[in-house]
Structure 1
Amino acid sequence: MTVQNIEIAGQTLQLLPQRAAYWPAQHLLLIADIHFGKAAAFRALGVPVPSGTTSDNLARLDALIDAHDVQHVLFLGDFLHARASHAPTTLAVLRRWRANRSWLKLTLVRGNHDESAGDPPADLNIAVVDEPFEMNGLSFCHHPHAHAQGYVIAGHLHPVFRLSAAGDSVRLPCFVFGPASGILPSFGAFTGGFAISPQADERVFVTTGDAVYAVPSGPPAFGPAV
């Protein structure tokens, strides 16, 4: 499995194929836009969508925690999707997971969905803070353009990048890093994506799920979002 190391504000981050980032010096795993309970919220509105997305998100999160020396997980906003995400079945799954990971430090930087959904239940033992959350010259936020002193690492946009070849194209989740801020892809299942048009001074790294690749600079090879 191929990762990409990137140096930001004198700190080295690992961009992981599983749509997350790891800060080895701090044993810190960065997760953006996990949107727990989104499917439950849709089903509460009568929309027939698949179940099991919360368990899927947690299984993928567990795999990253076990694969790296993770001591702290920092969620960059949108932990719960909506008020309906407080459904008993969703919270029961989260509570069982938390009981098995009681030693793990968890911090949530509030995002726009957190404002409407409300904070996670107190018994999940998650520290909840407003953006920016400052650490060693990095400012962890939900919104990429949040006002902060350090280099901003954020989520919110669910960025994807379109690669084209031989008359065909594919949209892949991506990381985007510019001079003042970086954006992580959405970690959550069933969250969609926004096709980005990178600026000349931005670097893009796409993930296939197995590897992270740097996109060569130059004219972007993608079209409108579909």
Structure 2
Amino acid sequence: MEALTIDLNGHALVLSAERAAFDPHLKTLLIADAHFGKDAVFRARGIPVPVGTTGESLARLDSLIAMHRPESVVFLGDLLHARESHADETLAALAAWRAKHRELALVLVEGNHDRHAGALPAAFGVDVVKEPHRRGPWALCHHPQTVDGAYALAGHEHPVYRLATRIDSVRLPCFRFAARAGVLPAFGAFTGGFEVNGDARGEALYVIAGERVFPLSDRSKSTIAAS
């Protein structure tokens, strides 16, 4: 998977095709809207969906950790999807992942789904904080917003961009950055998306297509520091 480093208000931020961002100065990996256990929620509510989306997401998280070697991971809300996410198979997968990464500090900026899902057991060692959570130049949030004296990074929206021809179209996850706040794509493998076409004028957009992140607009291109 490729990554693209941009300059965001004078600070480097690495955008990954794995739908995450990394601050190389703070050595912090940022993950929005993992929605772990969403497949278990659907099955518990009588909707037959395949098993394994949580495992797929955790494998991508492993790849990001191997690539960036972070000291901490901050989840920008909606770590779990709902109370049924506490199903045995989901908790077992999360526990096995945590056992491999005991050295990592984990922080959850509480989102709307987290309040309904309930906290993970204390043994997982996740520090739950309220938004905005200040870290370096960032105000880390779940809900998109502006914060005085910091650049806000959030999730919640699951932004996607629709690329279309006369006969076909595709919805691609994207990063969107305005003057004072930005939104990361949903990390989870089993999430929908909010189309930002026509709603992102004046913003820098970075679209994920396969294993690449590429700038969609001239403003995006002007913010690239290196690739």
Same fold (TM over 0.5): yes
Q: Mark the CA change 1:125 to 1:208 in structure 2 (over 3 Å): closer, same or farther.
A: same
SS at match of 1:204: strand
Counterpart residue number, 1:210: 211
State the 1:149 CA deviation.
4.0
Q: Is the 8 A contact 2:161 2:173 kept in 1?
A: yes
Where do 5+ consecutive residues of structure 2 fail to align? 220-227
Using the size of structure 2 for normalisation, the TM-score is 0.91
8 Å CA contact retained: 1:9, 1:138: no
TM-score computed with the length of structure 1 as normaliser: 0.91
Tell me what 2:224 maps to: none
Q: 1:199 to 1:57 in 2, by over 3 A?
A: closer
Matches within 5 A, 1:1-226: 1-145=1-145, 147=147, 149-165=149-165, 167-197=167-197, 198-217=199-218
CA contact (8 A) 2:26 2:136 kept: no
Which residue of structure 1 lines up, in the alignment, with residue 223 of structure 2?
none
User: Cα distance, 1:147 vs. partner?
Assistant: 4.8
1:51-80 superposed Cα distances (whole Å, 9 cap, x missing partner): 111111111100110111211111000001
Q: Distance in 2 between matches of 1:217 and 1:17?
A: 20
**Aligned AA for 2:163?**
L
CA contact (8 A) 1:54 1:90 kept: yes
Shift of 1:25: 0.8
Superposed CA offset, 1:129-164 (max 9, x none): 010110122100000126554111000000000112
Distance in 2 between residues matched to 1:4 and 1:53, nearest whole Å: 26
Aligned residues: percent identity?
Answer: 50
Deviates more, 1:159-168 or 1:6-15: 159-168
Give the RMSD, CA atoms, in angstroms: 1.6
Number of positions where the alignment pairs a residue of Structure 1 with one of Structure 2 = 218
Are the structure 2 counterparts of residues 192 and 121 from structure 1 closer, same or farther at C-alpha, using a change threshold of 3 Å? same
Contact in 1 for aligned 2:76/2:108 (Cα 8 Å):
yes
2:176 aligned counterpart, secondary structure: strand
Residues 139 and 147, structure 2, Cα contact 8 Å, conserved in 1: no
Per the TM alignment, residue 203 of structure 1 is displaced from its structure 2 partner at its CA by 0.9
Helix, strand or coil at the partner of 2:25: helix
- Which whole-Å deviations, capped at 9, do the CAs of 1:149-185 have from their partners, x for residues lacking one? 4111000000000112454322100000001110000
Runs of 4+ in 1 over 6 A off after TM superposition: none
> What is the Cα deviation at residue 9 of structure 1?
3.2
Matched-pair contact (CA < 8 Å) for 1:18–1:209:
no
Q: Which runs of 5+ in 1 are unaligned?
A: 219-226
Q: Is the 8 A contact 2:108 2:127 kept in 1?
A: yes
Q: CA deviation at 1:2?
A: 3.5
Give the whole-Å Cα distance in 1 for the aligned partners of 2:105 and 2:33: 18
Q: Distance in 1 between matches of 2:137 and 2:218?
A: 27
